[in-house]
Every structure is written in structure tokens, then in C-alpha cells.
């Protein structure tokens, strides 16, 4: 699958499913695999989905009919982290492969958001409602029916109280950080995919892999079509890569979508310089 085709499929998926409802029928695994397909045309999407189905079947067999919410969640995390051996990639946290679900499944290593997505999707297939928690700096999960305890998937599925989440937040973002109630709110499937793509966008920018950064932003625009800032950012990356025509097109589209944005004058000046140099 070509990257452009994968982005088109991703856009169709988030528009056609209940993407704005927490715990809705939005297939996160398929969305994450389409993101991976933008970088790897050889990806076996059906094989990866079947792998998740098998793990869910194994998880379901470990859950008693009268299991509490925490016991259900523990069955998922014990299987994935204790038995199968998924773990956080401490050795190479910023490896882009940590953000591509098929590589996480193959290597059994990932970062908080992809390991959390794995738990969410295995849980969904096993009939266990697991929610993503978009805490700044460190993604978490919890059971839909138990809001007092959270799971740190990057650290072996350890169970956390709210106070421990606050300590983790300070560790991840700085000692001045303070946990606020909204930090532990569940996030939508669309927001989870966007978080993965923002990670890729930042990683590829830092590595100066501009073509891949442009692809990641294109996918992000498909997931969040109502955020013209992403088109502006893609214009910046195009400019850095020397793609002046594409940069000018993105800047013009951004100004049309957000003519009164706080940075509109700066973007207009950049666009004028591009047009002048092309002339």
C-alpha cells in the first residue's frame, strides 16, 4: 500500500466510525496499522489484526465470569506483559518503530501510547472496556468501570493510584508539574492516533528526515482535518526540505483556512518571499 493510499484509508476510517465517542466502535488497531502503512508498504495488516484476535482469545480464557473490573484489566496486562513479554523500549525510546503497531507486535517493545493502544484493542476484542488516558508526558490506561486506579503500560503494567500518577507526571515533565483532574480524563480514539502521529512528527523533524515528517503530518491532517495548524507546519517542513512550491501551497491553504490566526502575518510574509523567489 502506498503512503498516499494509506492516508486516504485512514481519513475514511476516522470519518466513518464513531471517532468522537470514548469507547466507541472506532477500530484503533486498524487506524494504527494504517499509520504504519504510510512508512512500510509491505505491512501485513490482516496478519497483525489476527495476532490481536489470538491474544484476545487467550485473555478471555483467563477472565472469570464474576471477575471485577480490576481483575479483568489485570488479566489483560498479566498476559501481555507477564506472559507474552511486551515491555517499554528503554534502550531506544525515540526509535520511530516504537510508534508503528506492527513493529511493536513483532519486537514486543513500544512506548506508552502504543503499548496502551495494544491493551485497549486486546481488551476490546476480549470484551474488556479499556480507556486511554492522555496524561501529559506519559500515556496511561484504566478500566471503564474503575476510575480510581490506572495502569502504566510502559513499566510492565504496574497499577497506579492517582497520587502515583502525579509522581509519574513530575518525573516525565518536570518537578514543577502538578496533576490536574483533566489530565486523567479518557481521550477519544482519534486523539490517541493523533498522539502517535505527533510523536512521529517530532521524531522525524529532530532527525531531519523531512520526507517522513511530511508524511506523518499528512496522516495527522487526515486524523484532525479541522486543525489548519498542521498544514502550516507541513509548509514549514517543505520549506526546510527545499520544496518551495509545496511549501507555498500549504501556507496559502493555511491562510485561507485561518486568515485571522495569530501568526497569519508571519505566514503571509513567508509566502510572499516564496512567491517572489519563484518569480
Shared domain for 12 and 149, answered yes or no, is: yes
Q: Worst-scoring range by mean pLDDT, 22-36, 95-109, 256-270? A: 22-36
Show which of 184, 216, 236 is a domain's final residue.
184
Give the tens place of pLDDT for each residue, 57-85: 999 999 999 999 999 999 999 999 999 99
With a cut of 50, say whether residue 149 has pLDDT above it: yes
Q: Per the confidence metrics, is the pTM higher than 0.85?
A: yes
Domain count, the chain: 2
Show which of 157, 184, 211 is a domain's final residue.
184
| Cα 181 from Cα 165, distance rounded (Å) | 11
- Is 202 within a domain? no
Shared domain for 249 and 143, answered yes or no, is: no
Selection from 83, 186, 65 nearest residue 127 by Cα: 65
- Is 219 within a domain? no
| Cα 116 from Cα 101, distance rounded (Å) | 11
- Is 195 within a domain? no
The confidence band for 25, taking pLDDT boundaries of 50, 70 and 90, is low
Residue 167's domain spans which residues? Answer: 3-184
Selection from 11, 108, 97, 6 nearest residue 51 by Cα: 108
Shared domain for 174 and 239, answered yes or no, is: no
Q: Interhelix angle for 45-60 vs 28-37, to 10°?
A: 150
Residues 6+ positions from 185 with CB-CB distance below 8 Å: 133, 134
With a cut of 80, say whether residue 199 has pLDDT above it: yes
Show which of 132, 154, 184 is a domain's final residue.
184
- Is 65 within a domain? yes
Give the tens place of pLDDT for each residue, 164-178: 999 999 999 999 999
- Is 199 within a domain? no
Give the tens place of pLDDT for each residue, 96-140: 999 999 999 999 999 999 999 999 999 999 999 999 999 999 999
Shared domain for 253 and 162, answered yes or no, is: no
With a cut of 90, say whether residue 20 has pLDDT above it: no
With a cut of 90, say whether residue 210 has pLDDT above it: yes
Shared domain for 51 and 176, answered yes or no, is: yes
Shared domain for 127 and 249, answered yes or no, is: no
Shared domain for 16 and 144, answered yes or no, is: yes
Shared domain for 262 and 149, answered yes or no, is: no
With a cut of 60, say whether residue 19 has pLDDT above it: no
Average pLDDT over residues 180-191: 94
- Is 76 within a domain? yes
What phi and psi values does residue 141 have, to the nearest 5 degrees?
Answer: -135, 165
Shared domain for 38 and 156, answered yes or no, is: yes
Q: What is the mean pLDDT of the chain?
A: 94
Shared domain for 180 and 244, answered yes or no, is: no
- Is 108 within a domain? yes
Shared domain for 110 and 239, answered yes or no, is: no
Amino acid at each position: 500500500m502506498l503512503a498516499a493510499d494509506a492516508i486516504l484509508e485512514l481519513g475514511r476510517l476516522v470519518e466513518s466510525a464513531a471517532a468522537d465517542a470514548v469507547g466507541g466502535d472506532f477500530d484503533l488497531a486498524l487506524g494504527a496499522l494504517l499509520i504504519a502503512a504510510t512508512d512500510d508498504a509491505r505491512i501485513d495488516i490482516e496478519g497483525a489484526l489476527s495476532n490481536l484476535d489470538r491474544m484476545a482469545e487467550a485473555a478471555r480464557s483467563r477472565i472469570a465470569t464474576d471477575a471485577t473490573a480490576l481483575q479483568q484489566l489485570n488479566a489483560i496486562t498479566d498476559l501481555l506483559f507477564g506472559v507474552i513479554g511486551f515491555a517499554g523500549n528503554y534502550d531506544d525510546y525515540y526509535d520511530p518503530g516504537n510508534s508503528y503497531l506492527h513493529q511493536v507486535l513483532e519486537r514486543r517493545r513500544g512506548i506508552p501510547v502504543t503499548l496502551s493502544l495494544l491493551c485497549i484493542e486486546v481488551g476490546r476484542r476480549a470484551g474488556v472496556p479499556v480507556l486511554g488516558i492522555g496524561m501529559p508526558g506519559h500515556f496511561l490506561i484504566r478500566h471503564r468501570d474503575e476510575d480510581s486506579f490506572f495502569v502504566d503500560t510502559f513499566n510492565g503494567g504496574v497499577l497506579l493510584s492517582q497520587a502515583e500518577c502525579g509522581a509519574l507526571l513530575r518525573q516525565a515533565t518536570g518537578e514543577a508539574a502538578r496533576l490536574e483532574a483533566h489530565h486523567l480524563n479518557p481521550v477519544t480514539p482519534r486523539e490517541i492516533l493523533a498522539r502517535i502521529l505527533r510523536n512521529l512528527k517530532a521524531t522525524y523533524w529532530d532527525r531531519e528526515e523531512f520526507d517522513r515528517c511530511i508524511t506523518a503530518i499528512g496522516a495527522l491532517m487526515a486524523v484532525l482535518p479541522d486543525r489548519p495548524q498542521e498544514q502550516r507546519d507541513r509548509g514549514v517542513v517543505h520549506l526546510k526540505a527545499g520544496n518551495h512550491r509545496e511549501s507555498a501551497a500549504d501556507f496559502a491553504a493555511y491562510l485561507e483556512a485561518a486568515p485571522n490566526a495569530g501568526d497569519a502575518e508571519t505566514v503571509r510574509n513567508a509566502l510572499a518571499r516564496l512567491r517572489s523567489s519563484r518569480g
